[in-house]
Structure 1
Amino acid sequence: MRFFGLKTCDTCRKALKSLQAAGFTPEIIDVRADGVSAADLAKIVDEFGEKAINRASTTWRGLSDEEKSGAPLALLAAHPTLMKRPVIEADGVWTIGWKADAQAVHLGE
């Protein structure tokens, strides 16, 4: 299991705590500190398209209109913190966010 998130993100901390309590030990990739490989970014955009971009983020609000009109892959490559978080990959299954649907996939709830 791989966990893409930010150390400072409350949702990421909550998700990680739940996963660890359920017995998982995910490989944690901090999108700001560690970066995200081009292959992983491409897969995330393939899986989620526009939904991979967190349009409520401080980073998004700081972009120009021209930057906002860019392709999701280019935006995430330039600004990894724009990624909606957490993104979790487990056995080839990808989820984004930590709502009931993602929890059901990873925790069986």
Structure 2
Amino acid sequence: MTKRGITRDEEKQFEHTLTRYRLPTPTADDLARAFSALAVSGTAAGNGVVLRLSVLRDDGPYATDLALNPVVASHLLQIIMEAGRSGGWLDAKGNVKTHSGV
């Protein structure tokens, strides 16, 4: 990958891997068992982005690092934007929406 993006061959390989290991959409039961995210940080990497995610488990906070290639990162962005817009907590630009609480 260069600053111009990834090659078409890299994109095809990343898409193939994404399709091969695609997971089902989480259900309400999955939500009940999900860890709560406490914090996230990240940095650009030569092959995408590395996220450091802190979650609350039964035994306390736990941090893990996730390396996302550009295709997975793009899919994650789409999931978050679609969920936020349809849930009413993100505006069209991706900013968190607030209200007076009334």
* TM-score in terms of structure 1 length: 0.23
Bigger Cα Rg: 2
Q: Which has the higher helix share?
A: 1
* TM-score in terms of structure 2 length: 0.23
Q: Which structure has the higher relative contact order (CA within 8 Å, separation 6+)?
A: 1
